[in-house]
Amino acid sequence: MPVQMTLTALPGMPLVKPGDDLAGLILEGLKRSALDLRDGDVIVVAQKVVSKAEGRWVDLKTVQPSSAAIELAAQTSKDPRLVQVILSESRQVVRTRAALIIVLHRLGFVCANAGVDHSNVGGPNGDGGEWVLTLPEDPDRSAAELRRRLEQASGARLGILIIDSHGRAWRLGTAGVAIGVSGFPALLDLRGRPDLFGYILQVTQVGLADEIAAAASALMGQADEGRPVIHVRGLPYALREGSVSELIRPPEEDLFR
């Protein structure tokens, strides 16, 4: 058997509204694609549709910016109410530059604008307006709940990733990263495994969830909300329990904060 991995975008996924049954929509999408779920398959879901199903909308008209938000908004040429939402989702501001606020998100990772999304979201009723979308409250929990439903429906042992696109410190362009994980080896620890020549490998923690997130993200595209769910078959590693927290560098080891 060749080592082969196939990623398939579920066709015809509808726009997602608050309260929608995302697991049900994914099962319908699988049916349309004539894909089944087998042991070892991975389902990768865009953060945006998870947040929408969970109703993680904020109406900027209801937001009262703090004085800190007003100050930071002036520095970054942003809407003070949007900055207030960003600060509410963050533990700490790491860096700022025109139009960019890099924060330590309440979920533990460093990202731009706290993952708060203004473009391509359309509001809870799809009519646009002054709505922004925040990340799921607990993406690991969202992934676990999706997994429970999809495993129940299929009888298969699955991995679930919820992903977003993040900028990188030294490289241009975003890349998909995992923000929620269930049943998947987020960090693959190969330390101490001897290589072909008997050396002990030194740096061999692989961010596997992020590598698969990046692969799926390439298939999802950005502007097109029509491909928010990717089915992955052929992951060349065994599934296990896992959490996105495996991927978060402890602050005391972080040289770039």
- Asked if residue 238 binds its own copies (CB under 8 A), the reply is no
- Asked if residue 158 binds its own copies (CB under 8 A), the reply is no
Among 54-62, 84-92, 132-140, 171-179, the segment contacting its own copies (CB under 8 A) = 171-179
- Asked if residue 140 binds its own copies (CB under 8 A), the reply is no
- Asked if residue 116 binds its own copies (CB under 8 A), the reply is no
Among 49-57, 69-77, 141-149, 166-174, the segment contacting its own copies (CB under 8 A) = 166-174
C-alpha–C-alpha distance, residues 165 and 206, integer Å: 18
C-alpha–C-alpha distance, residues 158 and 240, integer Å: 9
Q: Are the CB atoms for 172 and 65 separated by under 8 Å?
A: no
Dihedral sign (CA 109, 186, 22, 33): positive
One symbol per residue from 73 to 112: x for binding its own copies (CB under 8 A), - otherwise; what is it?
----------------------x-x-x--x------xx-x
| # binding residues, its own copies (CB under 8 A) | 80
- Asked if residue 5 binds its own copies (CB under 8 A), the reply is yes
Q: Are the CB atoms for 46 and 222 separated by under 8 Å?
A: no
C-alpha–C-alpha distance, residues 67 and 72, integer Å: 9
Q: What is the closest distance, in whole angstroms, from the C-beta atom of residue 39 to its own copies in the complex?
A: 18
Which strands sit side by side in the sheet containing 159-166, from one edge to the other?
A: 159-166, 42-46, 229-233
Q: Are the CB atoms for 79 and 91 separated by under 8 Å?
A: no
- 32 or 148: whose CB is closer to its own copies? 32
C-alpha–C-alpha distance, residues 89 and 200, integer Å: 41
- 61 or 171: whose CB is closer to its own copies? 171
Q: What is the closest distance, in whole angstroms, from the C-beta atom of residue 6 to its own copies in the complex?
A: 5
Choose, by CB under 8 A, the member of 70, 74, 156, 201 that binds its own copies. Answer: 201
